[in-house]
Structure 1
């Protein structure tokens, strides 16, 4: 009888231990991360997100597991990755850039989705409104001050009469920004022409076709152009053609200057929202957030090569 009692207690202890181990295992929150393409801005967003989570007490490999995937600029890859992350039963998905966010949002209406580097989530069809998403999607916008960027172009290239709008025709975020930029060009008395690309192989040829036809180029936070800025600069810098860009990473790639947001800080801001979701808050009730501060940045080597002097007040 005692042996049976001991055996029962032992089995109960094993069951309790197993249940405890299972509970501990369940506490690891699984986050899928999908990034459209590699370039400094999006890379910084991802790093800021991971660092922001860590600062809040959520560290990959400890109490959370992050499954990171990069689509290498291919929309088809975004769809494949979205399917993969959903099949792996991620508790949350972090989507970087509009096409990545759209791919995931089209696959699930239940898994919480945190987005970043999406210019206008409403226009992209991700939320019912930016003020009250009403869906399983929320996050941060990378809307930059397009009007201020055109004003910067006018200031740095005062004799400019005609501007090329360089962007990828299939990126919704770029079309949204280009319309804002065109409105400011109208105010500034600048003529403009669209210079669109549909894939990276077209970039060099399209930029080359602009030489001698425009006085400057404007490119917003366009993922395709950002990932090929070195190619753009190979044409524009020798041709003395200034390029005003949407963010600092594009300056590093050879663009002249920008008033842009800090994508690392944008990623950290998204992490704060993710923590709220981990703790039970619903994305549908969380407004899209924006960074208030924009910084001036420029490429010193490009400015010197173009013979452009940066006004002292911008360097303070």
Structure 2
């Protein structure tokens, strides 16, 4: 090969390499992140979201720019925070938790991709999981059918289990599905269910007073933002009563619940990135079905079990994704 032919070939290969790199690296994108929660409570999940973007070729600060807004537990600030993001020029908003319900009331000029702990259909965000409404879609952590499994775990942990208290936020969308599933499982297992709707700290204290009057052998916590904010109060109460508490999200086990079984939350946050990417490339939110959990985790707190004098079944320990000692 002569020198001229070599230079032409080299230039051609370099051009192809640049083209391939351009095709594999997404265009620059500016998005907003909006939640009513505090930043510290979401640190691990934001890390999972960033990993999802990294897997798709995005690098924050290079071709991905995220404008963050945290409501610091003030849901009423969500509309003004959303207006700030729109004004800053974001092309899309990623929303989390209680902020999603507030955004659904607004007519935002940008799409919204959300992660929501409740049932999007019950919340009015969708006609069905396959048919999101308006300019919003995302993923849900709701898996109501797992409540029965958690009662089975309690039955295996607590000898002669006959009565369980459910502490749940009645304003959480989908709570009726979770309650019904728990009651059906209770009938099947021979376990009576005492349901305590608690939407405020005052109602939570009233529930505690009722449980002291009518003792139970365990507490099942329906996981949502209210439960997260009050998890220490609930778990400390259960500990004082010498009874175990169980919930869906691993955060509760790390806070002292004897066990959690539910969606692998980090995976759901990671999956948000794919929807952001697809919408950025032209997909319509209404054409993207709301995703349900596909990966689950079991976390057991051996320290809590020992403090309560309970033995965890070997099968539960063997199947646990994490054992807290």
Find the counterpart in structure 2 of residue 247 from structure 1.
249
What TM-score results when the alignment is normalised by the length of structure 2? 0.81
Tell me the equivalent position of 2:9.
Answer: none
Is contact 1:137-1:284 (8 Å) kept? yes
Please give the alpha-carbon distance, in whole angstroms, between the structure 2 residues aligned to 1:155 and 1:185. 13
* Local SS of the residue matching 1:166: strand
Structure 1 position 109, deviation (Å): 5.4
Give me the CA root mean square deviation. Answer: 2.3
* Structure-2 change in CA distance of 1:293 and 1:70 (3 Å): same
- Please give the alpha-carbon distance, in whole angstroms, between the structure 2 residues aligned to 1:165 and 1:273: 34
From the superposition, tell whether residues 84 and 39 of structure 1 become closer, same or farther in structure 2 (CA, over 3 Å).
Answer: closer
Unaligned runs of 5+ in 2: 1-26, 319-325
Answer with 282-291 or 169-178: which moved more.
Answer: 169-178
Q: 1:179 to 1:70 in 2, by over 3 A?
A: farther
Unaligned runs of 5+ in 1: 1-26
Q: Deviations over 1:224-245 (max 9, x none)?
A: 1122222222221132111111
Match of 1:165 in 2: 166
CA distance in 2, matches of 1:191, 1:227: 27
Cα distance in structure 1, aligned partners of 2:187 and 2:43: 34
**What secondary structure is seen at the aligned counterpart in 2 of 1:185?**
helix
2:230 maps to 228
Cα separation, 2, equivalents of 1:119 and 1:202: 21
| Aligned 8 A contact 1:34 1:69 in 2 | yes
The answer as to whether partners of 1:44 and 1:263 remain within 8 angstroms in 2 is: no
Quick one: structure 1 residues 168 and 283, their matched pair in 2 at CA, closer, same or farther if it must change by over 3 Å?
A: same
Over 3 Å counting, the alpha-carbon distance change for 1:185 and 1:36 in structure 2 is: farther
C-alpha displacement of 1:40 = 8.3
CA contact (8 A) 1:45 1:263 kept: yes
* Cα drift, residue 253 of structure 1: 1.0
Aligned length: 289
TM-score normalised by length of structure 1: 0.83
Q: Which structure would you say has the larger RCO, counting Cα contacts within 8 Å and 6 or more residues apart?
A: 1
Does the C-alpha gap of structure 1 residues 103 and 88 become closer, same or farther in structure 2, counting only changes over 3 Å? farther
